[in-house]
Each structure stands twice: as structure tokens, then as C-alpha cells.
Amino acid sequence: MSARRGGASLMPTTRSRENTRARLVEAASEVFAEVGFDGASVEAICERAGFTRGAFYSNFESKEDLFFELARQVSDTKLARVADRVSEMAAVEVPRSTAEIVRFVLDIATDDRLGVLLMSEIRTNAMRDERLARAYLAWDGAMAARVAQIIAEIRRTSRLALRVPDDEAARMLVNTWEDAAVHAAIARLSPKRAEQQCAERIAALASLLVESPAG
């Protein structure tokens, strides 16, 4: 009986801790994107989240520890989006035009400005921090592998032939996708225009990658 009460009493505490961590991570994503990692202070993150320094340090050892957790979550979210595209392949009739196929390969909807800034900050710090670099490279490789899976499935169902192997095509498409998102953020394009520019650039690349209909 007492064990049940003990277990039950732990649940609110666990949920509260999870909520606190989630709010700190969300606040950190905004602060890091706005002022960069070096410019972000623990105090600013706590103020944005509505917590004290004590709450921060009871959940994270340092600002670096929080940044690493944020980078992991951003990576997992992006991978999940691509994974959804893979699972949809079995249920969706793939369109035939190059532009439409590319729209299916990559979820063209670009990240918002803060999201782009945050990913740029993650990449910059990955060049400085070995632990973050390993995590980023693992995510980057997994992202390209997922996109390559989609490309392979599209080839099988749409009778298209590519000039390069699937993994090389995936890498080019992902790089172009991300470069277009960064350019849109720098140019302060509207979300609609940013999406249009991203689609145009990827469609142009795809037209170079597609050789001819197979058969």
C-alpha cells in the first residue's frame, strides 16, 4: 500500500520536472536563436522560461548541457518529419512531374526564421565542440539516409532514372533545401515567398538530377 502511495507521489514530481525541462529548452531555443550561444546567459534563459537559476541547475549542469539537449531535440524533430515522408510513400500515389516529385521527397515547408537561426547556431557551435559535432554529424547522416530511402522508393514507383546514386542525390537535395532556407532568413522573405524560393531551387536541381524516364 505504502509503495503505491510512494509511486503515485512520484508521478506529479516527474511530470513537473519534465515540464520544467521542456519550458527551459523552449526558452533556450528562442534566446539562442535571437542572440546566439555566446550572447545567451543562464539568467536570460531563466527569465524567458519564468524560473530561477536553482530550477535551471537542478535540470541542467550548464548552458552547454542545455544547448546539447536542444540540438538533440531539434535533430530528432527534423528526422521525424522525414520519417513521416517515408511512411507515407506506401499510401500516397506519387505524382509524375519532377517538381511534384521533389516536393514529395522533401517537406518543402521551410522552418520559421527562429528555426533557421537556431540550426545555424547549432552548426556553428558544432565546429567548436567535439561532442556536439559528433551528434550533429550523426543526425546529418541519418537525415540524408532517410531522404535517400524516399528517393529510392520514388524511383521504383515513378519510373524515373537519376544521373547519380540515391545517396548523392539526397545529399545535394538536403544541402540545397537548407541553403535556400538560410538565404530566405537572411533576405527576410515572407513565409510564402521563402517556401516558393525553396521549391524553385530544389525543382531546378531535380531537373538536373533526373536523367529520363526508365524504360
Quote the strand ranges of the chain, DSSP E: 160-162, 210-213
The SS3 assignment for 109 reads: coil
- pLDDT-flagged residues of the chain (< 50): 1-11, 214-215
pLDDT of res. 2: 43
pLDDT of res. 157: 74
CB 10 within 8 A of CB 18: no
Total-model pTM = 0.72
pLDDT of res. 28: 94
Nearest by Cα to 23 from 64, 51, 62 = 51
* 136-189 tens-digit pLDDT: 888 888 888 888 888 887 787 777 788 999 999 989 988 998 899 899 989 999
pLDDT of res. 215: 44
Angle, CA of 36, 30 and 14, to the nearest 5°: 120
- Give the largest Cα separation in the chain, rounded: 71
CA dihedral 191, 194, 195, 197 (to 10 degrees): 160
CA 193 to chain centre: 20
**How far, in Å, CA of 170 to CA of 45, rounded?**
36
